[in-house]
Amino acid sequence: MLRFIVRRVLGAIPILFGLSVILFMFLRLLPGDPAIAILGQHATPQLIAQIHETLGLDKPLYVQYLNYLGQLLQGNFGASIIDSRAVADTFAIRFPITVELTIGALIFAVGLGIPLGRLAARHPNGWIDGLVTVVSLFGISIPIFVLGYTLAFIFAVELHLLPYPGPIDPRLSVDPVTHFPIIDAVLSGNPGAVVDAFAHLILPAIALGSIPLAIVTRITRASVIDVSNEDYVRTARAKGLTRKRVDDRHIMRNAWLPVTTVIGLQVGSLLGGAVLTETVFGWPGVGSWVVTSIQNHDYIVVQSLILIFATIFLTVNLIVDIGYAFLNPRIRYS
């Protein structure tokens, strides 16, 4: 088991290494002086010289790369050219917002997708199954921003049921301590703020979670149907176990396995989708930061954020793989 974990961790390292090479080349491969490309319309001779200095552009390429890598390993991702703040600092403020949104979407997708998948699998090709199939078809076919605005229109503009936009009502002036909107609301000791923070999370979480929801539902359905046809499920029924016990213990314990893998992979689509969701709902997280940085041609930030997102994605999948191994005794004991 330990060998398995070590092998997986070691497997992720060359991927990040390779990505850092690609991102490093990203700036150098732009035509012309990278400093001008980085600075764009902000270029002044003084700034250009400064960039040359920090990037070490006069040194050979491999030295530049080693410098870059060395900086990365120290957690130094460089600074934004817009506000000169270190990427790592701004990230620390914005990331909790994205995490909260992503977790909310994941809870929505998994919390609803698994029961729906099980329900559909109970009577394959029955009417519930058909309904679930149609809903999941919509889920994967509707862009996040279309769904997001539609939800905002229905629930915020027309029905006034839920707030839009932002992660929390600014009039509540909650102190940003952890930068997680809900946790900060709790810390503020104002119950109204907690309710408000949760209410703000609902619509973006649904918009972001719709694709994972559709996929988790489909996989759960397929997996439950597969497992239900296994011999050991017949054995369990032949032993006279109750239906609930057969479902929960014998079917779900096995059906979980492919579902976990898929949930891990969905984290990627959640991180990518956060870019759109945060833009639609005006959340000042990492996703909307990617968009403004691109609009500002703030390449250093874009480059760092891509690397960070990839690292998070790989880490989550590593954890999921290890979790999978724990769920699956055939791997755990080999």
Partner 1 sequence: MAVQAPAVVVRAAPRASRGLWRDALRRLLRNGPAMLGLLFIAIFVAAAILAPLISPYDPTVGVIGEAKHGPSLQHLMGTDSVGRDEYSRVLFGARISLTVGSVAVLTGLVFGCLVGALAGGAGGIVDTILMRVVDVLLAVPGILLAIGIVAWLGQGQLQIVLAVGISYAPIFARLLRGSLLALRESDYVMAARSMGASPARVLLRHMLPNALTPLIVQATLAAATAIIDVAGLGFLGLGPGDPRVAEWGEMLTGSAGFLQNAPYLIFFPGAAIVISAIGFNLLGDGLREALDPRLKR
Partner 2 sequence: MRLLPEPAGRIEGGRVEFEGQDLIELDESEMRELRGKEIAMIFQDPMTSLNPVLTIEEQMVETIKAHKKITGSDARARAIELLSMVGIPQPEQRLRNFPHQFSGGMRQRVMIAMALALEPKLLIADEPTTALDVTIQAQVLELLSRLAADHGTAVILITHDLGVVAGMTRRTNVMYAGFVVESATTAELFAQPSHPYTVGLLHSMPRLDAQPGEPLIPIEGTPPDLRFAPVGCPFAPRCAWRVESCWRGMPPLEPLQPTTEVHMTGSGATHRCACWNRPTAEEASAGRPLRAGFTAAPEPIGAGR
DSSP 8-state class, residue 56: T
Provide the greatest CA pair distance for the chain: 82
Tell me how far the alpha carbon of residue 114 is from its chain's centroid: 19
Number of H helices, E strands in the chain: 15, 0
CB under 8 A: which stretch of 127-135, 186-194, 287-295, 321-329 binds partner 2? 321-329
Residue 226: its H or E element: helix 191-228
Residue that is written with structure tokens 């809900």 in the block:
182
The span of 139-147, 213-221, 240-248, 309-317 binding partner 2 (CB under 8 A) equals 240-248
Q: Does 248 bind partner 2 (CB under 8 A)?
A: no
- Considering only residues 155 to 184 of the shown chain, the ones binding partner 1 according to CB under 8 A are 156-157, 164-165
Which residues have C-beta within 8 Å of that of residue 309, sequence separation ≥ 6?
Answer: 271, 272, 286
Interacting partner of 230 out of partner 2, partner 1, none (Cβ under 5 to 8 A depending on kind): partner 2
The verdict on 289 binding partner 1 (CB under 8 A) reads no
The two tokens of residue 45 are 């001779």
Q: At its nearest, how many Å lie between partner 2 and the CB of residue 122? A: 11
Q: Which residues contact 193 (CB under 8 A, 6 or more apart)?
A: 168, 169, 172, 174, 185
Which residues, in sequence order, are bridge partners of residue 289?
none
Query: Minimum Å distance from CB 179 to partner 1?
Result: 22
Instruction: Report what 144 binds from partner 1, partner 2, none; CB cut-off 5-8 Å by kind.
Output: partner 1
d(CA 302, CA 295): 10
* Residue 221 interacting with partner 2 (CB under 8 A): no
Among 157, 249, 292, 319, binds partner 2 (CB under 8 A): 249
Sign of the dihedral defined by the CA atoms of residues 160, 165, 166, 167, in that order: positive
Give the DSSP H or E segment for 146: helix 144-151
Contacting range for partner 2; rule: CB under 8 A; set: 61-69, 81-89, 243-251, 295-303: 243-251
Interaction of residue 273 with partner 1, rule CB under 8 A:
yes
Figure out which of the listed residues 28, 59, 85, 253 binds partner 2, where binding follows CB under 8 A.
Answer: 253
Q: Is 22 in the site for partner 1 (CB under 8 A)?
A: yes
Contact footprint for partner 1 (CB under 8 A): 14-16, 18-19, 22, 26, 30, 133, 137-138, 140-146, 149-150, 152-153, 156-157, 164-165, 218, 222, 268-269, 271-273, 275-276, 279-280, 282, 290-291, 294-295, 297, 299, 302-303, 306, 309-310, 313-314
